[in-house]
Amino acid sequence: MDISRTGPYELRVEQQGAMRVPGVVYATRELLSDAGQSLEQVRNVATLPGIVLASYAMPDIHWGYGFPIGGVAATDPAQGGVVSPGGVGFDISCGVRLLAADLSAEELAPALGRLMDALDPVVPRGMTRGAVWDLHEPGELRRILVAGSRHAVERGHGDQRDLDRCEDGGAVDGADPGQVSERALERGLHQVGSLGSGNHFLEVQRVDAVYDTEVAEAFGLRPGQVCVMIHCGSRGLGHQICTDHVRRMEQRMPHHGITVPDRQLACAPVDSPEGRAYLGAMAAAANYGRANRQLLADAARRVFAQLLGAGLELVYDISHNLAKLERHEVDGATRLLCVHRKGATRALPPGHPDLPADLRGHGQPVLIPGTMGTASYVLTGIPGGRAFHSTCHGAGRTQSRHQAARGVSGRELRDRLEAEGIAVRPSSWRGLAEEHPGAYKDVDAVVEAGEGAGLCRRVVRLTPLGVVKG
pLDDT tens per residue across span 42-97: 999 999 999 999 999 999 999 999 999 999 999 999 999 999 999 999 999 999 99
| Three-class SS state of 462 | strand
Instruction: State yes or no: pLDDT of 128 exceeds 60.
Output: no
Instruction: State yes or no: pLDDT of 436 exceeds 90.
Output: no
Catalytic, out of 62, 151, 393, 436: 393
* Band of pLDDT at residue 2, cut at 50, 70 and 90: confident
DSSP string, 334-353: EEEEEEEEES-EE-PPTT-T
Residue 407's identity, in one-letter code, is G
Q: Lowest-confidence range among 137-141, 215-219, 295-299, 336-340? A: 137-141
Contacts of 394 (CB under 8 A, 6+ apart): 60, 199, 320, 343, 368, 369, 370, 371, 440, 443, 446
Contacts of 200 (CB under 8 A, 6+ apart): 125, 231, 232, 233, 470
Q: Lowest-confidence range among 112-126, 246-260, 386-400? A: 386-400
Residue 66: predicted pLDDT: 96
Summarised one tens digit per residue, pLDDT across range 272-316 is: 999 999 999 999 999 999 999 999 999 999 999 999 999 999 999
Work out the percent of the chain whose per-residue pLDDT is above 70. Answer: 96
* Band of pLDDT at residue 373, cut at 50, 70 and 90: confident
Instruction: State yes or no: pLDDT of 35 exceeds 80.
Output: no
Are 246 and 259 contacting, i.e. CB atoms less than 8 angstroms apart? no
Rank 146-150, 369-373, 410-414, 420-424 by mean pLDDT and report only the highest: 146-150
Summarised one tens digit per residue, pLDDT across range 266-278 is: 999 999 999 999 9
Residue 405: predicted pLDDT: 63
393 a catalytic residue: yes
Contacts of 79 (CB under 8 A, 6+ apart): 50, 52
Q: In the CATH scheme, what architecture does the domain 3-398+440-469 have?
A: Alpha-Beta Complex (3.90)
Q: Lowest-confidence range among 249-253, 405-409, 418-422? A: 405-409
**Domain-by-domain residue ranges, the chain?**
3-398+440-469
Report the 10 Å Cβ neighbour count for 120. 18
369 φ, ψ (degrees, to nearest 5):
-75, 135
